[in-house]
Amino acid sequence: MIYVTYGKMSKEGLNGLTAKPENRAEALGKMVDALGGKLIDYYFLLNGQIDFIIVSEFPDDQNVNELSLIDALLVRGSGAIESITTLPALRAADAVPLFERAKALQEASTYSKPGN
């Protein structure tokens, strides 16, 4: 399954990259590999709201849960990152069965939005 991680660097993290420029994908790739995943790509945006996007692949949610815990303890704990979020991503073709299921549930449901 594909996962997209995005976040915001801290002032300390940005200063560290400026003081010692390096390809952080190498360090991240080792961590992802150790958890049984594969780093697909790592992008810097540096737009002030989101500083980086990481695309990775893991066999299941358990590995991603471990990655999230490591992110919290090691990466955010180091002061390099202010915030980080990881979400599962579906390829467009893989989402079609979910849309079909949602349509079937909608047609069979008596649910209505609040106030109706």
| In a domain? residue 102 | no
- Write the CATH number for 50: 3.30.70.1060
Which pLDDT score, from 0 to 100, does residue 109 have? 80
pTM for the whole structure = 0.78
54-80: pLDDT as tens digits? 999 998 877 777 777 777 777 777 888
Sign of CA dihedral 59, 54, 43, 74: negative
Q: How many structural domains comprise the chain?
A: 1
Q: What single DSSP character describes residue 42?
A: E
Task: Please report which confidence band the pLDDT of residue 48 belongs to, taking 50, 70 and 90 as the band edges.
Answer: confident
| In a domain? residue 98 | no
Range of the domain at 84: 2-90
